[in-house]
């Protein structure tokens, strides 16, 4: 498939222009004019380039386009220059989709987590630009804190990292925002949520939960964001017939 046609397909699917983000979304490195085999992963890193070379892929798609965040100088020297050189030498183009892969209501990280948890009546929250990035849903019936932890230990291979239970002991309505998404706590409370599921948390989050009397569970930044790139690989292969493989290089945070 032509790289230009593939870019159009991805942008039509993920609508990056609708999100207020802090990185490039879309094509970051054009190293070939075609796409014949794809590797997807959570973060752009050396070992993902290694995997792409091993798979003889000519395209990488990531959720975290490290090196292309706003404020990074992108001068082609040092480690960044080395990575760019390896991509160009091996004819591997690079795409990054950050918030568009968090908020997408078909393949996105947060809707996927909510569905895996068995939540119903799922809708978006935490607006960033024209679209939302998190979701809110509810269990069919109320569950205990212990049942919530059991559920999440089943959804995530490595289980729960931290549980902050300062709120209601019976949980039904749950907010979900992967990665470093705990900034949505206040909005989740205003929507009547009993708990928040996220990836990693900052120092102030336990204090906020304690003082507001709220429940929050974190399951890892990387580990809550494997779903979008995994689902995207499946969708590319099913709809475009291009071999696409998700490579999970774990990161414990």
Banded model confidence at residue 72, pLDDT cuts 50, 70, 90: very high
pLDDT at 100: 98
Banded model confidence at residue 170, pLDDT cuts 50, 70, 90: very high
* Sheet-wide strand order for 131-144: 120-128, 131-144, 170-177, 195-198, 215-218, 162-165
Protein fold of 3-97: 3.40.1390
Share the mean pLDDT of the chain: 97
pLDDT at 146: 98
The correct answer on CATH 1.20.210.10 for the domain covering 103-221 is no
d(CA 180, CA 228): 15
Q: How many CA atoms lie within 13 A of 191 on its CB side?
A: 23
Alpha-helix residue ranges (DSSP H) falling in 156-201: 185-190
d(CA 78, CA 197): 37
Q: What is the pLDDT of residues 48-69, one digit of tens each?
A: 999 999 999 999 999 999 999 9
pTM of the model: 0.97
d(CA 214, CA 76): 46
Q: Where in the chain is the domain with CATH 3.40.1390.30?
A: 3-97, 103-221
Q: What is the pLDDT of residues 147-162, one digit of tens each?
A: 999 999 999 999 999 9
- CB crowding 66-81: b at 16 or more within 10 Å, else e: bbbeeeeeeeeeeebe
Banded model confidence at residue 95, pLDDT cuts 50, 70, 90: very high
Read off the pLDDT of each residue in 131-153 and give the average, rounded to a whole number.
98
- DSSP calls for 84-133: HHHHHHTT-EEEE-SHHHHH-TTT-HHHHHHHHHT-EEEEEEEEEBTEEE
The SS3 assignment for 195 reads strand
Read off the pLDDT of each residue in 196-220 and give the average, rounded to a whole number.
98
Tokens 């002991």 -> residue: 169
């Amino acid at each position: 498939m032509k790289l230009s046609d593939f870019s159009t397909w991805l942008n039509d699917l993920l609508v990056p222009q609708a999100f207020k983000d802090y990185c490039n979304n879309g094509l970051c490195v054009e190293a070939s004019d075609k796409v014949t085999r794809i590797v997807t992963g959570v973060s752009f890193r050396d070992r993902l380039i290694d995997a792409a070379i091993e798979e003889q892929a000519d395209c990488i798609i990531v959720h975290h386009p490290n090196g292309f965040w706003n404020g990074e100088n992108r001068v082609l020297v040092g480690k960044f220059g080395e990575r760019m050189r390896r991509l160009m030498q091996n004819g591997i183009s690079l795409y990054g989709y950050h918030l568009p892969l968090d908020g997408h209501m078909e393949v996105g990280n947060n809707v996927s987590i909510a569905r895996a948890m068995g939540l119903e009546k799922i809708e978006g929250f935490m607006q960033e630009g024209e679209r939302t990035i998190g979701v809110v849903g509810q269990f069919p019936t109320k569950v205990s804190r212990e049942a919530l932890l059991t559920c999440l230990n089943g959804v995530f291979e490595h289980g729960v990292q931290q549980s902050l239970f300062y709120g209601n002991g019976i949980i039904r309505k749950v907010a979900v925002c992967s990665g470093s998404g705990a900034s949505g706590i206040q909005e989740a409370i205003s929507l009547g949520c009993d708990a928040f599921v996220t990836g990693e948390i900052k120092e102030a989050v336990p204090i906020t939960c304690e003082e507001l009397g709220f429940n929050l569970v974190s399951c890892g930044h990387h580990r809550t964001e494997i779903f979008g790139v995994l689902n995207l690989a499946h969708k590319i292969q099913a709809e475009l017939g291009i071999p696409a493989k998700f490579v999970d290089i774990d990161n414990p945070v």
